[in-house]
A and B are shown apart, each in its own frame.
Chain A
Amino acid sequence: MATKSLKAQGDELAVSNKQLEILNGGIFADGELPYFKDKIHQIDQFPLRPRKLEILQINVGYMCNQVCEHCHVDAGPDRKEIMTRETMQLCLEVIRNTGAHTLDLTGGAPEMNPDFRWFVEEAAKAGIQDFIVRSNLTIIRANKKYHDLPDFFKKHNVHVVSSMPHWTRGKTDKQRGDGVFDKSIKALQELNERGYGMPGSDLRLDLVYNPSGAYLPGDQGAMEKDFKKALKEDFGIEFHNLFAITNLPIARFLDYLIASENYEDYMYALVEAYNPAAVANVMCRNTISVSWDGWLYDCDFNQMLDLKVASKIKHIKDYNEDILNDRNIIISQHCYGCTAGAGSSCQGTVA
Chain B
Amino acid sequence: MADSYYDPKDLRKFGKITEWSEELGTKFFDYYGKVFEAGALTAREKSLIALAVSHVVKCPYCIDAYTKDGLQKGITKEEMMEAVHVGAAIESGATLVHGVQMMNKYNKLSM
Contacts and interface: CB of A to CB of B under 8 A. Distances in A.
Interface residues of B, number: 12
**Of B38, B43, B71, which is in contact with the most chain A CB atoms at under 10 Å from its CB?**
B71
A252 interface: no
B76 A222 contact: no
Contacts of A216: 72
B44 interface: yes
A101 interface: no
Interface string B36-58: 00100011100000000000000
Contacts of B77: 170
A272 B43 contact: no
Contacts of B72: 211, 215-218
Given A268-B12, A272-B12, A219 B74 contact: no
What does DSSP make chain B's interface, helix, strand, loop or mixed?
A: helix
Contacts of A171: 76
A215 B68 CA distance: 7
A222 B44 contact: yes
Interface size class of A (residues with CB under 8 A): 10 to 19
A166 B79 CA distance: 14
Contact of B43 (A167, A219, A268): A219
A166 B72 CA distance: 11
B109 to A, nearest CB: 54
A195 interface: no
B76 A168 contact: yes
A213 B44 contact: no
Nearest to A167: B74
Contact of B74 (A166, A170, A268, A272): A166
B85 interface: no
Contacts of A215: 68, 71-72
A223 interface: yes
Contacts of A227: 74
Nearest to A272: B12
Interface string A204-221: 000000010101111100
Given A166-B74, A168-B76, A171-B76, A222 B12 contact: no
A226 B43 CA distance: 12
Given A170-B76, A268-B12, A222 B68 contact: no
Nearest to B15: A272
A171 B77 CA distance: 9
A270 B84 CA distance: 28
Contacts of B38: 222
Contact of A226 (B12, B44, B68, B71): B44
A240 B76 CA distance: 23
Interface of A: 166-168, 170-171, 211, 213, 215-219, 222-223, 226-227, 268, 272
Interface of B: 12, 38, 42-44, 68, 71-74, 76-77
7 contacts: A166-B74, A166-B76, A216-B72, A218-B72, A219-B43, A222-B42, A227-B74
